[in-house]
A and B are shown apart, each in its own frame.
Chain A
């Protein structure tokens, strides 16, 4: 860990030093107008709809075996409203409605019952409000935001703050962002284990919130603190790149109370148990290359480390092809590979004497492939009404992909997602 931190610091030192050096060498000849807001910006309204469907055979609700079929429909709206040249307000809100065969088995240990339960379907609503203050003279922006979400077993709220600065020549941009989440989980246990946790609450409920002790097992909190630092650097007139370092610290209930675990040395089973603290450190780099007016190449790589024992590598490539100015067709491919958490073992491989255990394959040794394509259509529409405000359609996006998750070359989950995005402006 110390070695990692040392190398990160060395990298940042060299990089920051050279950025400072660049300020003296590179002339200010930028034609960029990204952060210039001399004219009042229009209001932007974006709509996003998506449909997701998955099918798998390793549900953690039934201990690492069983149906993981899931369907999720999302509708989301986001608004960006410029108040004046210096202040913008952002609002977003949405709803997810999902059906899950996996959570349907919370009350159905062996998946024997064919009738669906109340857990089969749920909805999640979310909303966020933020403001951005722009200091054009010093090329600084400050942001503050809050967000909430609600679903049957999780209530969440978050606050965030951000800062960004474009350096003098605008070839370099720095970003800092901090997030804090407070999630409250309603403790819903598998039906056959409720007697155990409702009567022996003291054994597992170390920090109970005492809100609903007699009902569904009360609730517990999970707090997450996230810090992000990113540097974007234009390397040439055709190449730009970024480095992003994040650190996330989570504390509280990190396991899911209705996930089952089965043991090889006991006839009984239990709920998933994981430590109360977790640190995650992902490092990501992006590099975009403008090949020609017909083609851009977008690359992404991420290394991920956490103290649950997961090390992961993720890489993706996207190639937007623009046969005409208003149309882009972007095929993309993403590959992911991760080692298993030290707390993970498949169905029936854990010992009842283990301190922590999970059979959730999300934490297992898996690899995944995602293949898809994005279409973007941006018609050029003139505003004919002069000063009269009107809603103007700007862009439509359609993005779809298929996802395959494998473990030891066995296909254990597949899914697909289709998303439709509509962008409007009030001019």
Chain B
């Protein structure tokens, strides 16, 4: 079910990307529009990964290099 939702979400994005829009990057290059984790989140993401069995795909470490799971 989850994978189907992912598929549907990105299929929609894909179709949107074919619409020929001429993108102005003024808004997209705003600092808060950057995708990915911020450098200030580094220790927060690490501490969370130590306390939860699930990690990765969020800009943090997903195993190795520390005493986390």
Q: Which residues of A contact B (CB under 8 A)?
A: 3-4, 7-8, 10-11, 14-15, 17-19, 21-22, 25-27, 29-34, 46, 48, 50, 52, 54, 72, 74, 76, 78, 124, 147, 149, 151, 153-154, 156, 158, 169-172, 179, 181, 183, 222-224, 226, 228, 232-238, 240-246, 248, 250, 256, 278, 280, 282-286, 288, 290, 296, 298, 300, 302-304, 306, 308, 310, 312, 314, 320, 322, 328, 330, 334, 336, 338, 341, 360, 362-364, 366, 368, 370, 374, 397, 399, 401, 403, 405, 413, 415, 417, 419, 421
Q: A303-B6, A363-B69, A366-B52 are in contact. Are A14 and B14 (CB under 8 A)?
A: yes
Contact B39 A11 (CB under 8 A): no
Chain B interface, DSSP helix/strand/loop, else mixed = loop
In contact, A312 and B52 (Cβ under 8 angstroms)? yes
Asked if B54 and A310 sit within 8 Å, CB to CB, the answer is yes
Partner of A314, one of B13, B30, B31, B54: B54
For the complex, what is the distance from the CA of A341 to the CA of B28, rounded to whole Å?
Answer: 40
Asked, given contacts A283-B57, A362-B51, A421-B40, whether A235 binds B17 with beta carbons under 8 Å apart, the answer is yes
> Which B residues are within 8 Å of any A CB, using their own CB?
2-4, 6-7, 9-11, 13-36, 38-44, 47-48, 50-58, 62-67, 69
The answer to whether B32 and A243 have CB atoms under 8 Å apart is no
Q: Binding site of A, secondary structure by majority: helix, strand, loop or mixed?
A: strand
Q: Is the CB of B27 within 8 A of A290?
A: yes
Which residues on A sit within 8 Å (CB–CB) of B25? 30-32, 34, 170, 234, 237
Find out whether the CB atom of A171 lies under 8 angstroms from the CB atom of B23.
yes
Alpha-carbon distance A238/B27, docked complex (angstroms):
6
- Contact of B65 with A181 in the complex, beta carbons under 8 Å: yes
- Tell me if B53 and A183 are in contact (CB < 8 A): no
Residues of chain B within 8 A (CB-CB) of A330 are 32
Given A19-B17, A235-B16, A248-B62, does the pair A7, B7 have CB atoms closer than 8 Å? yes
Closest residue on chain B to residue A18 by CB atoms: B14
Knowing A154-B67, A243-B6, A282-B56, the reply to whether A237 touches B28 (Cβ < 8 A) is yes
A30 to B, closest residue via Cβ: B25
Q: How far is the CB of B33 from chain A (nearest CB, A)?
A: 5
A282 touches B48 (CB 8 A): no
Query: In this complex, what residue of B is CB-closest to A6?
Result: B3
Docked complex Cα distance between A306 and B21 (Å):
39
User: Is there an interface contact between B69 and A237, defined as CB atoms closer than 8 Å?
Assistant: no
